[in-house]
Amino acid sequence: MSSAAEQEAERAVGRPAPHGEGHRELNGHHGRRGSPGGLRPQVWPGAPTPLGARFRVGPDGVAGTNFALWAGGAESVELCLFDAAGTETRLALVELTHEIWHGFVPGVRPGQRYGYRVHGRWDPWTGARWNPSKLLLDPYARAVDGSIGDGHSALPPQVYGHVRDWPQQQVADTVRDDRDSAPFVPKSVVVHDDDDWSDDRRPKTPWADSVIYELHVRGFTKLHPGIPEELRGTYAGLAHPAALDHLVRLGVTAVELLPVHQFAHEDHLLRRGLRNYWGYNSIGYFAPHAAYSASGTAGQQVGEFKRMVRALHAAGIEVILDVVYNHTAEAGERGPTLSLRGIDNKGYYRLQSDARRYADYSGCGNTLHVVQPQVLRLITDSLRYWVTEMGVDGFRFDLAAALARSMHDVDMLSPFLAVIAQDPVLRRVKLIAEPWDVGRGGYQVGAFPPLWTEWNDRYRGAVRDFWRGALPDVRDLGYRLSGSSDLYAWGGRRPYASINFVTAHDGFTLRDLVSYEHKHNEANGEGNRDGTDDNRSWNCGVEGETEDPRVNALRRRQLRNLLTTLLVSTGVPMLVAGDEMGRTQGGNNNAYCQDGEVGWIDWSLLEQPGPRGLLELARRLVALRHRHPVLRRRAFFSGRAQGADGLRDLAWFTARGEEMTERDWYAPTATLGLYLSGRDIPGRDARGAPVVDDSFLIVLHAGSRPTGFVVPGAPWAEGYEVLVDTSGEDQAGVPGRVHRGGTEVGVGARSVQVLRVTG
């Protein structure tokens, strides 16, 4: 013990002994205990696999559910069944096979609500936190019904394994709370998966052809006027034709859904009248978040999610899930006991040398112990389930570096990455890493293995800095626009390893990026301390909303510049829902707790000409990308001559029409042009024919004054057709303007031109 207070607590509480003797506890009722239907169910031995609750009809014709729970260090396990009135029946699982407690209960059918009570030692000093007074969610539950407490007020004290309000807070987590948590926690639900996916056609869009659209199920649909009110904010709402129409007309090939695993709201948010909106606080890795269901929460959410996936697939759109396997909603040692902590705390979580404390590489209080075989099994079983049973097409891994840690350091040969690489299901889906965590050595951009793509934050930084006039030179920008070969041209990786983005769910929206230089997160209730201060934004002269027409015109132009730059860059572009119409969060760059108008898309923006014009430009740019393989190359540029004409596949030009020299790369500049050759693009089409495309010149000018740019003449081009010019509000009349090669063309202040070579 390290302090007098801790010594006093040890004298008062006693060093816990096996079976919990000697601990100090708060006693409370254990709820109603009985037998649903009046007859106490039997428990047959059952099987240790598969884990979770599986309804089945045995060869003898008896229908029931097999329950299997891994609880490595537990002394005993009780299965708790709940009827519609909340009456609890406890059944001992006495069969133990390879640390898995299991039993088959005849008569238990889909829709049955259940949980577990796990018995063992209470000894937080060694990491043991078993407490049978706490009803626990099944880690393999395929549906979850109910909320913690009322879902709006502070978390009830009964949901904590320790006495939350113990007077000596520094040792509060060591004092066991024996009040029953069952009335205050959600229940697992038995679900029967019998869907036939044979009629589903996955789009299977190649990585190079992908355009990703990051969206929040609730935020995307909640205010959409074309979606019936009863479906807004739900999976069914996202499957509605009005939602699909927007996605299809925009041309995106995949939606990347913010977390849809069952998640919980943090106590500190509930106390401030807020909720976890984004969902990065998982508590059920197999269960679709019940609050996004329009059809019910007793298992109906599973079918509704599947119907959403089918509808998106039918529209040609893949479904990628943002998944959070680095931590859970149980937080640190003072967090609630909802599932894993009460099943086997030491087995599921990384603990410090002081086993009371948790290793925290997530910034959220705990980190899953992925090197433990059973934890790795939980994660990979979950991933396979979402692919094979729920129909999803890929995953974006939140703080993926935390999953790649072996003991302490990030290891690209870690068990997690090795298992993914050899798994016959998972190695074939789209895998996106957020390639960092908050621990030492956690920044791993460019380091993930060849199967993986990565969020490329260096692309984000370079593009933002260029358009706000903050780049000292354009060396880094050159790499980012052309696929980031300096990061990804190793081990067989391709340009599509780079997920290019200017904005994401965390940080400013695109409109706020050009409207604010400082975060305005006061509504989060944290004194504006939360959220990054490294925004790399420019407000165009006025902080926040303004009626100044010149400032607003400049902001609209900057939106066009950023959007155009993203969609003509080599790599895989990711758009954020609402950016294509200039959505704002009022300068909030950390809207994780803003489940309201700040976080939801305001579709009424499309009643204004500016947002409508931006959306139309986004559609044109995505369509341009789909039409031209030179904009979505499958191999890096070589910079060497291609074909008999001796022209390189990629060339860079100054405003004088001269190829850039080494001195030009190191000099400050606001203007550059990149020539993308469509001749002899590496690879073959689906029929084995060579890929040949138009060639393009893209001119970027971040200067505050108009300039001239000499477009390269022969042998590069005889002429050019202007396809996009962001300097003007009206884009309808842009296509069709032509220029002869070797002539100087006018380029508006802070603008992009996309020109197609015509001869």
CATH number at residue 89: 2.60.40.10
pLDDT of 59: 76
Main-chain phi, psi angles of 564, to 5 degrees: -65, -45
Whether 636 maps to a domain, the answer reads no
CATH number at residue 277: 3.20.20.80
Task: Look at residue 171 and tell me whether its pLDDT is greater than 80.
Answer: yes
pLDDT of 730: 83
Whether 404 maps to a domain, the answer reads yes
**Pair 308, 340 in one domain:** yes
CATH number at residue 703: 2.60.40.1180
Higher per-residue pLDDT: 169 or 571: 571
**Pair 550, 499 in one domain:** yes
**Pair 118, 254 in one domain:** no
**Pair 24, 148 in one domain:** yes
Decide: residue 504, CB within 10 A, 0-12 exposed, 13-18 middle, 19+ buried: middle
The residue among 704, 749, 703, 710 whose CA lies nearest residue 727 is 749
Can you tell me the distance from the alpha carbon of 2 to that of 643, in angstroms, rounded to the nearest whole number? 74
Can you tell me the distance from the alpha carbon of 106 to that of 108, in angstroms, rounded to the nearest whole number? 6
Q: What percent of the chain has pLDDT over 90?
A: 87
Average pLDDT, the chain: 94
Residue 423's pLDDT band (boundaries 50, 70, 90)?
Answer: very high
**Pair 620, 651 in one domain:** no
Can you tell me the distance from the alpha carbon of 10 to that of 439, in angstroms, rounded to the nearest whole number? 32
Whether 325 maps to a domain, the answer reads yes
Helix (H, G, I), strand (E, B) or coil at 117: strand
What's the N-to-C CA distance of the chain in angstroms? 81
Whether 202 maps to a domain, the answer reads no
Structural domain including 135 reads 4-189
pLDDT of 195: 81
Parallel, antiparallel, or unpaired: how do β-strands 430-433 and 394-397 relate?
A: parallel
Helix (H, G, I), strand (E, B) or coil at 66: strand
**Pair 50, 168 in one domain:** yes
Among 53-62, 568-577, 681-690, 691-700, whose mean pLDDT is lowest? 681-690
Paired tokens of 209: 């052809």
Q: What percent of the chain has pLDDT over 70?
A: 94
Main-chain phi, psi angles of 723, to 5 degrees: -100, -35
Whether 199 maps to a domain, the answer reads no
Q: Which of 132, 161, 189 is the last residue of a domain?
A: 189
Residue 406's pLDDT band (boundaries 50, 70, 90)?
Answer: confident
According to DSSP, the residues that pair with 423 across neighbouring strands are: none
Task: Look at residue 6 and tell me whether its pLDDT is greater than 50.
Answer: no
The residue among 160, 141, 159, 142 whose CA lies nearest residue 150 is 159
The residues near 361 (Cβ < 8 Å, ≥ 6 apart) are 326, 350, 367, 399, 401, 402, 405, 437, 438, 439, 442
Task: Look at residue 307 and tell me whether its pLDDT is greater than 90.
Answer: yes
Chain segment 218-237, per-residue pLDDT in tens:
999 999 999 999 999 999 99
Active site residues: 398, 434
Task: Look at residue 585 and tell me whether its pLDDT is greater than 70.
Answer: yes
**Pair 129, 223 in one domain:** no
Neighbours of 681 (CB within 10 A): 22
Whether 200 maps to a domain, the answer reads no
395 in Cβ contact with 323 (< 8 Å): yes
Mean pLDDT throughout 260-278?
Answer: 98
**Pair 542, 472 in one domain:** yes
Among 162-166, 228-232, 571-575, whose mean pLDDT is lowest? 162-166
Structural element, H or E, at residue 700:
strand 696-701
DSSP letters, 715-747, are TT-SEEEEEEETTSS--TT-TT-EEETT-EEEE
Mean pLDDT throughout 11-19?
Answer: 37
Residue 39's pLDDT band (boundaries 50, 70, 90)?
Answer: low
DSSP letters, 420-466, are HHH-TTGGGSEEEE----SSTT---TT-S-TT-EEEEHHHHHHHHHH
pLDDT of 38: 53
pLDDT of 32: 43
Can you tell me the distance from the alpha carbon of 326 to that of 512, in angstroms, rounded to the nearest whole number? 30
**Pair 123, 243 in one domain:** no
Whether 194 maps to a domain, the answer reads no
Paired tokens of 158: 């009964």
pLDDT of 23: 36
Residue 457's pLDDT band (boundaries 50, 70, 90)?
Answer: very high
**Pair 116, 15 in one domain:** yes
pLDDT of 7: 46
**Pair 341, 231 in one domain:** yes
Q: Which of 156, 189, 222 is the last residue of a domain?
A: 189
Compute the Cα dihedral for 616, 622, 624, 626 and give only its sign.
Answer: negative
Task: Look at residue 29 and tell me whether its pLDDT is greater than 60.
Answer: no
Is the pTM higher than 0.75?
yes
**Pair 363, 219 in one domain:** yes
Mean pLDDT throughout 616-635?
Answer: 97
Q: Tell me how many domains the chain contains.
A: 3
Compute the Cα dihedral for 342, 347, 348, 354 and give only its sign.
Answer: positive
Whether 197 maps to a domain, the answer reads no
